[in-house]
Chains A and B, each alone.
Chain A
Amino acid sequence: SQQGEEDPQALSIQEGENATMNCSYKTSINNLQWYRQNSGRGLVHLILIRSNEREKHSGRLRVTLDTSKKSSSLLITASRAADTASYFCATTLLVFGQGTRLTINP
């Protein structure tokens, strides 16, 4: 399967803490994207990192990419209750990982 895998599958933390999610994939890529999905809703694009980039920032989001290990991580700093959602990574082949369900407890 070319499907990526997120780790952990579920994560519950306190508001204000940092949340880190990991994604592994199996094929070579041109870029990798992270998306957020609120329950029963569509996906929202968060950030795209290209294969020649190692780290990228966007607001409270930090994404890293290690093409040698075929893995990426998404860090959300100073988490808020509104960050509660499922987070998916997707490769250029439009293959999505299983997602990480993040719960931020007030």
Chain B
Amino acid sequence: GAVVSQHPSWVICKSGTSVKIECRSLDFQATTMFWYRQFPKKSLMLMATSNEGSKATYEQGVEKDKFLINHASLTLSTLTVTSAHPEDSSFYICSARDPAGQTGDTQYFGPGTRLTVL
């Protein structure tokens, strides 16, 4: 199946710094990617939909100035957590749909990035 990668897989940063997480579709082009946040032993919460070449669509309650999303190419979306605080510590997961795949509705998920803000 299609492969989605994330980098870094984990990151530890100091409070107040910004962290960038990359999400790449390795063998297909994804016009739309999705960013999720997951707390321990909880479900995934959709944060935003990243659209190639246009602004991201944020879910209610997600601060767009806090979580900057850039989808500059058909294979790369980035999530930047700005001025990170300990409460931003979480597991961030991206996903992408392969529209040309056997099942166009199937989402392929990245392995996730664990962010710890000290």
A residues touching B (Cβ–Cβ < 8 Å)? 3, 30-31, 33, 35, 40-45, 48, 88, 90, 92, 94-99, 101
Contact = CB atoms under 8 A, between A and B. Distances in A.
Contacts, number: 49
Contact of A97 (B34, B43, B46, B114): B43
Contacts of A99: 42-43
Contact of B105 (A30, A42, A44, A97): A30
A11 B103 CA distance: 30
B95 A43 contact: yes
12 contacts: A3-B43, A33-B105, A35-B109, A41-B111, A43-B93, A43-B109, A45-B106, A45-B107, A45-B109, A92-B105, A94-B34, A98-B42
A88 B109 contact: no
Interface of B: 1, 4, 6, 34, 41-46, 91, 93, 95, 103, 105-112, 114
Given A33-B105, A96-B43, A101-B41, 9 more contacts: A30-B105, A33-B107, A40-B91, A40-B114, A45-B106, A88-B43, A88-B44, A94-B34, A98-B43
A42 B43 contact: no
Contact of B111 (A3, A42, A98): A42
A53 B42 CA distance: 29
